[in-house]
């Protein structure tokens, strides 16, 4: 063999030997706790682009695809995933409610947020999702007062007004509305509610005029573009954002949304009547201005931005899944319709005071998020050598070592389909949320102190949307000739096909809304 090849081959052999020895050492470190052994770490960005390959990688969308099956396979609700390649080669996946509670609430010093993963989301400034420790406490103090009863009332009122305009002015003469993909509707609803409840804008279904004041995009265009391509900013270096037409358009969206956020911030800071307003931006800004430990404008913009991203995607996708489930299970839809009409007692629209009584709406929403959690898994870094005490369904107990530098992955999908907590977990059964249930086994908003502060905002909007739509329209799956012979199971698989991007995203949900008579 020519000597030219000896050096690179020798280097390759050394690298392979070192990784193999490290792999064996990792297995010993965790005392060979049961789980997966594969080439590429589940934490590697490569998994988002690869199909599942045995011994190689879990592949994309693994959490929602596997649900609880991997835990059943190994007999424990905490399993290890040890890889040869990856920045973090030891990962523990958790579908045990007791262990998740320990990780998120009682042992936060041992299990911390891997802030390096979230740093690239700080496009306009640092925010509560990317912060840890004292910085996180400052941001929590900044944003928590914004999610008040005052803002919730505004959310409910604006949602009702937005949908009333849709029904009366846009769908006015139509008895049947067909949608090729339901998100075309739910994205718009989420966008209008955010504009009103976060910025205090007057929402409207009218065609938006072109950009003004030197902008290349309107605020709505920029926000939609940003949320659609947000993941590009996370996985691509800035130098790559000009390589394709899509990347260039995404870059313009990022730049324009930042410009709109800056303008709005300045307008609200200089507005004499901003005091006492109920929109999220005004409340956060006022809270910051009154603080003894005032945060810079970048932190205000960063926190507003992250709520825009979460509020837009989470709401739009969850509502699409909700309408799809109600279409697939018409008996549940009629039970919901009966419940809503009994609460409204002949009134055409719900009021904010009806919210606590719309219990079945909340149950349907929760069951949707159990089946399709917006965030399927949440990583935590292990800050010190520690252990976890685990128990399986047989009652067997075990203590497993968890080394410093490894990752624990809170698996919402795995826990939401865990038969230890949910009877017949694959079925759509909103009734389970109308009786006692294991609350710490339901984590669509994460859990512990770092649970999503915007939960009530989202729930208020979603329940209002459900009450408005189901009281006036029947929703069904759009019939298409090419799918005329499919079974219920085949239809379910097609309608609920989804991918894990920023949040769990439905691929295509074709629906029909038919006016009730």
Residues contributing to the annotated binding site: 452
Q: What is the DSSP string of 29-63?
A: HTTT-SEEEEEE-TTSGGGGGS--BTTTB--TTHH
Q: Which two tokens stand for residue 462?
A: 């979603």
Q: How far is CA 101 from CA 97, 105, 448, 450, in A?
A: 6, 6, 7, 12
CA distance 406 to 103: 13
Q: Which residues contact 492 (CB under 8 A, 6 or more apart)?
A: 328
* DSSP reduced 3-state for 395: coil
Bridge partners, 92 (sequence order): 80, 408
Q: Which two tokens stand for residue 18?
A: 């070192």
Tally of CB atoms within 10 A around 253: 24
Bridge partners, 499 (sequence order): 505
Residue list, annotated binding site for heme: 452
Identify the H or E element spanning 386. Answer: strand 386-391
Q: Which two tokens stand for residue 358?
A: 């719309």
CA distance 80 to 33: 6
Query: What percent of the chain is helix, strand and coil (3-state, nearest 5)?
Result: 55, 15, 35
CA distance 90 to 111: 14
CA distance 69 to 408: 18
Whose CA is closest to 284, among 220, 200, 161? 200
């Amino acid at each position: 063999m020519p000597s030219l090849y000896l050096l690179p081959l020798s280097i390759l052999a050394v690298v392979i030997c070192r990784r193999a020895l490290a792999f064996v050492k990792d297995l010993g470190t965790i005392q060979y706790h049961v789980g997966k052994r594969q080439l590429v770490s589940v934490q590697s960005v490569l998994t988002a682009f690869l199909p599942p390959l045995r011994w190689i990688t879990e592949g994309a969308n693994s959490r929602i695809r596997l649900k609880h099956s991997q835990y059943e396979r190994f007999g424990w609700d905490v399993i290890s995933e040890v890889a040869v390649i990856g920045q973090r080669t030891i990962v523990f996946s958790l579908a045990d409610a007791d262990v998740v509670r320990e990780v998120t609430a009682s042992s936060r010093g041992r299990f911390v947020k891997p802030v390096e993963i979230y740093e690239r989301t700080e496009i306009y400034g640092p925010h509560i999702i990317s912060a840890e420790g004292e910085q996180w406490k400052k941001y929590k103090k900044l944003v928590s007062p914004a999610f008040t009863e005052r803002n919730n009332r505004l959310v409910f009122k604006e949602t009702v007004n937005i949908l009333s305009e849709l029904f009366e002015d846009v769908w006015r003469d139509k008895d049947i509305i067909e949608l090729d993909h339901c998100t075309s509707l739910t994205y718009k609803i989420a966008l209008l509610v955010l504009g009103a409840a976060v910025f205090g804008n007057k929402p409207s279904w009218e065609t938006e005029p072109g950009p003004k004041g030197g902008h290349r995009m309107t605020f709505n265009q920029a926000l939609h573009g940003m949320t659609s391509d947000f993941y590009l900013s996370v996985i691509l270096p800035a130098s790559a954002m000009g390589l394709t037409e899509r990347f260039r358009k995404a870059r313009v969206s990022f730049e324009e949304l930042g410009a709109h956020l800056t303008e709005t911030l300045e307008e609200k800071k200089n507005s004499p009547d901003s005091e006492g307003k109920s929109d999220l931006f005004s409340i956060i800004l006022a809270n910051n201005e009154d603080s003894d430990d005032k945060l810079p404008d970048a932190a205000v913009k960063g926190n507003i931005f992250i709520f825009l991203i979460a509020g837009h995607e989470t709401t739009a996708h969850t509502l699409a899944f909700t309408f799809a489930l109600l279409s697939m299970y018409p008996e549940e839809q009629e039970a919901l319709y009966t419940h809503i009409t009994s609460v409204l007692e002949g009134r055409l629209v719900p009021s904010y005071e009806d919210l606590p009584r719309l219990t079945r709406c909340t149950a349907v929403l929760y069951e949707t998020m159990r089946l399709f959690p917006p965030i399927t898994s949440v990583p935590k870094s292990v800050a010190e050598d520690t252990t976890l005490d685990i128990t399986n369904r047989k009652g067997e107990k075990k203590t497993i070592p968890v080394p410093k530098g490894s990752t624990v992955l809170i698996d919402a999908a795995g826990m939401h389909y865990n038969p230890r907590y949910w009877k017949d977990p694959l079925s759509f059964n909103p009734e389970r949320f109308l009786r006692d249930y294991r609350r710490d086994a339901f984590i669509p908003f994460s859990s512990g102190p770092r649970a999503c502060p915007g939960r009530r905002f989202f729930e208020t909007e979603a329940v209002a949307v459900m009450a408005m739509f189901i009281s006036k329209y029947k929703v069904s799956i759009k019939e298409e000739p090419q799918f005329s012979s499919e079974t219920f199971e085949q239809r379910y698989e097609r309608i609920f096909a989804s991918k894990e991007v920023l949040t769990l995203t439905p691929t295509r949900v074709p629906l029909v809304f038919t006016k009730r008579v």
